[in-house]
Structure 1
């Protein structure tokens, strides 16, 4: 739903590649030089050895091409258990995900990755915050082992399942910071590809898939009487989507994301927020916005800040990853006419 901005990823890529060079590259080179019962397995190991940078830090399109290339090398045959274990050892997600900065002998890992990505909310649903917290380290009594006294971070979803594609288990663009609900409760082992789903590093819903209010008995996109929806009864309407993209393939994939992550079902638990926006749309006018701005001294610097105060969230898509429900709030506020009070659109 929300695109992950990778504009500042140069240092992250550098750290990620450096980590693999220390952690798995020597092992990969060793395995690539060994003999295999099935010739295609050796070819795969050699390909990964020669193209490890693409595998580790290549963008989503590069990863998709990597899968195609390896599928051609294997002719669709599965890896043997031995080769699969070797791939899991080289691209060891368990070691990577459990690395905590500050513990002796560890550097780059899951915690630092999520922290440095700076993704504020789950890109799949925009309903849960992704927060990284590290409390101080203490020494475990009677041992040399260091322990954290409390830590948390967002989960890392594998867009391409790490069991099916073990060589992508720690690929940077295959690790999607996300909430537990989306990653574990809804997606699980569901197969995802860019052919059938929206990849958060590549696309987002933006203005082409928008939340909308639909009176019961109506259809998405049809005009409705706002005053009819006012009051305490939120059972008079439901939340749905308007699909505005001229590209039917994009719409198809967006619908797949909505279905997989139960976006429509989840957001229909937020009708109270819609009711408040309905009330605000009837209360605030352009003149009222100007009055608030002119009489608030230095509290607000622009009409945009006043509008953000009124709707209780960010209005522009560039900030949607910073606060939960921001995409939802912005779409509904726009539909109700509240965003027309912005200085610029």
Structure 2
């Protein structure tokens, strides 16, 4: 796994918050106004009628037991008719049992920009996310169940309406283009390979029009799943630009082949915690985990992929911190990034590259003085020589620029340990 690095990461996070904060706080204010009306705490129908009608329609469906069908905005002539429509329909509504003053207080809190900022910019290095969630819940007076605050399903529904992942489909404010926030974010982060696997390219590409319509971008994985942590659905350091395979096929679960046919196709549930998995905003594998290979001369051509088995293991030449060892490799099959993303198994499809690298590296090792003298005459450095000869980036900070950069370096430096 490759660490996500950017010289302006904190600045990007602040810009991102500025783009989404108004939508979040406005939604919370609309929810609050509807709740005040339902709970007979305030007559604010005139003010409410001026708000986003589509949002109001969506919110009222969530709050009532019986079906409340507000007319569409284009069927009403202005704010007076909207007010009358709201008054008539809200009187018919029977509020759900969980709609109470605590929920009203939650909406009041989420309309506070400073409190929302604490959520959106929550540090990726928080050691215990559960403690953070408890802190947030307590500050919002959300639940009395401090041991398991995220079990409150009704509150989840409300939070998901306010801190809504679909806000990323909005266009970037104050720009003349139609660039979506999600595309803006992945473009600014400029992570070109999946940090989880370092196998798949994940560039962000726009068309050439003035509108800058997005064509492709990375998926944004919730490191801590929004189903369990709804407050973190839009948190900057919880959104990991990643490839589809890591986000959906692997981290999202896979078919359990050991189960009987009645359970076929059901997803395994992997519990993500800071102690058991590594967040790429915090760290990458670095040299704590290394790719290596076993060679079995099955084919006469040395570079043939059938001659190789790729191994991903702890670096035997250094003492790896126990906590990080668990985050990378896990103490059981449900822990560790290597396990959740099936890295060693999936990397076997790149045995052809390993074969090529081994042959190239052995030639380089035998002729390195001659090769080095040649490149010195061209006024190049080791990084440029490495990139030209082995086709990838040498420095770890550049490994997010091209797929298979870590595999390439680990194999090359295993054969030529003292040159690069």
TM-score by length of structure 1 reads 0.81
Larger Rg: 2
Counterpart secondary structure, 1:170: coil
Q: For the residues of structure 1 that align with 2:109 and 2:25, how far apart are their CA atoms?
A: 13
Matched with 2:206 is: 134
Matched, 1:246 2:320: yes
Matched, 1:201 2:281: yes
Q: Which of 260, 279, 283 matches 2:340?
A: 260
Matched, 1:332 2:373: no
Q: For the residues of structure 2 that align with 1:6 and 1:47, how far apart are their CA atoms?
A: 32
Matched with 1:117 is: 189
Shift of residue 53, structure 1, vs aligned partner = 1.0
Shift of residue 4, structure 1, vs aligned partner = 0.6
Q: Does the 8 Å CA contact 1:238/1:271 hold for their aligned counterparts?
A: yes
Q: For the residues of structure 1 that align with 2:177 and 2:361, how far apart are their CA atoms?
A: 56
Query: Which string of whole-angstrom CA distances, capped at 9 and with x for unpartnered residues, describes residues 203-247 of structure 1?
Result: 11001111111246xxxxxxxxx9x99725433431112313432
Query: Which string of whole-angstrom CA distances, capped at 9 and with x for unpartnered residues, describes residues 8-60 of structure 1?
Result: 12331222221233211133255468576467656655665452111111211
Matched, 1:184 2:248: yes
Q: For the residues of structure 2 that align with 1:87 and 1:207, how far apart are their CA atoms?
A: 40
Matched, 1:154 2:193: no
Matched with 1:169 is: 233
Segments of structure 1 that go 5 or more residues without pairing to the other structure are: 139-145, 217-225
Q: For the residues of structure 2 that align with 1:169 and 1:99, how far apart are their CA atoms?
A: 18
Matched with 1:308 is: 387
In structure 2, relative to structure 1, the CA distance for the partners of 1:169 and 1:111 (3 Å cut) is: same
Q: Does the 8 Å CA contact 1:28/1:45 hold for their aligned counterparts?
A: yes
Shift of residue 314, structure 1, vs aligned partner = 1.2
Query: Which string of whole-angstrom CA distances, capped at 9 and with x for unpartnered residues, describes residues 298-335 of structure 1?
Result: 5xx21332122222211221111111100110011110
Q: For the residues of structure 2 that align with 1:15 and 1:303, how far apart are their CA atoms?
A: 37
Q: Which of 242, 253, 272 matches 2:352?
A: 272
Shift of residue 114, structure 1, vs aligned partner = 0.3
Shift of residue 113, structure 1, vs aligned partner = 0.3
In structure 2, relative to structure 1, the CA distance for the partners of 1:329 and 1:5 (3 Å cut) is: same
Matched with 2:305 is: 234
Segments of structure 2 that go 5 or more residues without pairing to the other structure are: 40-97, 254-269, 330-335
Q: For the residues of structure 2 that align with 1:129 and 1:291, how far apart are their CA atoms?
A: 34
Q: Does the 8 Å CA contact 1:124/1:261 hold for their aligned counterparts?
A: yes
Matched with 2:22 is: 22
In structure 2, relative to structure 1, the CA distance for the partners of 1:282 and 1:136 (3 Å cut) is: closer
In structure 2, relative to structure 1, the CA distance for the partners of 1:275 and 1:130 (3 Å cut) is: same
Q: Which shifted more, 35-44 or 200-209?
A: 35-44
In structure 2, relative to structure 1, the CA distance for the partners of 1:119 and 1:105 (3 Å cut) is: closer
Matched, 1:286 2:368: yes
Q: Which shifted more, 88-97 or 6-15?
A: 6-15
Q: Does the 8 Å CA contact 1:289/1:307 hold for their aligned counterparts?
A: no
Matched, 1:9 2:13: no
Question: Matched residue pairs, number?
Answer: 319
Matched with 2:402 is: 323
Counterpart secondary structure, 2:418: helix
Counterpart secondary structure, 1:161: coil
Counterpart secondary structure, 2:125: helix
